A = this chain, B = another copy of it.
Amino acid sequence: MKKINVGIIGATGYGGVELVRLLHSHPNAQLVAVSSVSFAGKKISDIYGNLKGIVDKVLTTEDTVITSSDVVFAALPHGLSEIIASKCREKNTILIDLGADFRLDDEAEYKKWYGIGFEDKSLHECSVYCIPELHREKVDKSCKIIANPGCYPTSVALGLAPLAKLGILSPNGIVIDSKSGVTGAGRSLSDGTHYPEVNGNFNAYKVACHRHTPEIEQTLSELCGSPALVTFVPHLLPVNRGILSTIYATADIHSVEQLHEIYSNFYRNEQFVRVLNIGDEACIKNVAMSNYCDISVHFDKRCGKVIITSCIDNMIKGAAGQAIQNMNILFGLDETSGLDLISPAF
């Protein structure tokens, strides 16, 4: 089979460079072009020494990437993807967008949380939001824009989907206490990501006002079939990678064994979601550097609460890996192609 020509816009951000690393090793893809506004003209291996002698491509412009690729991955801050989508449409290039611009269906919600509206609604009408385990049937060769899900929302949706789809999850009063590694904050320098500030530290941030909240609610509402309302509090962990979401919910459940059976059944054919044995705790190190989502289920009988811990690598299952999984689906490849990464033991 001819390899898919892939390009990356925003290749020197953390999401972008992770795409470079994974796509370089993808058996069905060929990395043809990478772009960066900040470093155009330099070799990407001058910015990221890990790539020296392996990927020495010169960083070019977004237009060159779009022109030379079958699929473009865009890994940019929100607000920049509509124009790229528009250019891709002209060139009949597929866009897999790792940014937030195409994730929300409801323009009003988008405006409320991101402060800007949709410029070209027709682009949004043809985009598909896809967490593969939940939405893969929506993706086929006719798709031109895939909205790749956010990292927190991926961990939460996978963590609650079995209960939500079964109709036994109470869509209100859900508490999501998430903890993310620092790469989630990106490569831009800030006081809050200066090494001596993070090392040994821990704190919540954007309490009950993080932009991933409407995305979480959109997916849960769709799965539940009724509007979901969540309290979402992210925290910054002193680690490079990983998200662990601890989710507190009410559901029509009477034992942990029942809960475990529901989850095991729901994900029994999924390669990338592992429902751990009762008593085993999902942890970042078992999913870091891989496309896996590990889920632990608990039932607090005293309070009648379901407690789910859902754990992913924020940059792989929460970004670059899931984007590649979506590309695989779109091209009819084995979904695990290029994603057979095993988390290192240490």
Contact = CB atoms under 8 A, between A and B. Distances in A.
Contacts of A14: 196, 345-346
Given A200-B284, A239-B238, A284-B201, A18 B345 contact: yes
Contacts of A274: 52-53
Interface string A87-122: 000000000000000000000000000000000000
A221 interface: no
B242 A202 contact: yes
A40 interface: no
Contacts of A288: 200
B207 A281 contact: yes
Contact of A203 (B24, B284, B289): B284
A346 B52 CA distance: 15
Contacts of A284: 200-203
Contact of A303 (B200, B231, B283, B290): B231
A89 B340 CA distance: 35
Contact of A48 (B237, B241, B345): B345
Contact of A204 (B21, B51, B296, B300): B296
Nearest to A313: B344
Contacts of A143: none
Given A182-B196, A191-B189, A193-B194, A244 B342 contact: no
A87 to B, nearest CB: 27
B283 A244 contact: no
A179 interface: yes
Interface in A290-344: 290, 294, 296, 298-300, 302-303, 305, 307, 309, 311, 315, 340, 342-344
A25 to B, nearest CB: 7
A203 B345 contact: no
Contacts of A204: 244, 246, 281-282, 296, 309
Interface in A142-189: 172-173, 175, 177, 179, 181-183, 187, 189
B50 A285 contact: yes
A73 interface: no
Interface in A193-212: 193-205, 207-208
17 contacts: A14-B345, A17-B345, A52-B276, A179-B179, A183-B196, A189-B189, A189-B190, A193-B196, A195-B197, A199-B239, A200-B242, A203-B309, A204-B244, A208-B300, A208-B303, A231-B305, A231-B307
Interface of A: 14, 17-18, 21, 24-25, 48-55, 172-173, 175, 177, 179, 181-183, 187, 189-191, 193-205, 207-208, 229-231, 233, 235, 237-242, 244, 246, 248, 271, 274, 276, 280-290, 294, 296, 298-300, 302-303, 305, 307, 309, 311, 315, 340, 342-346
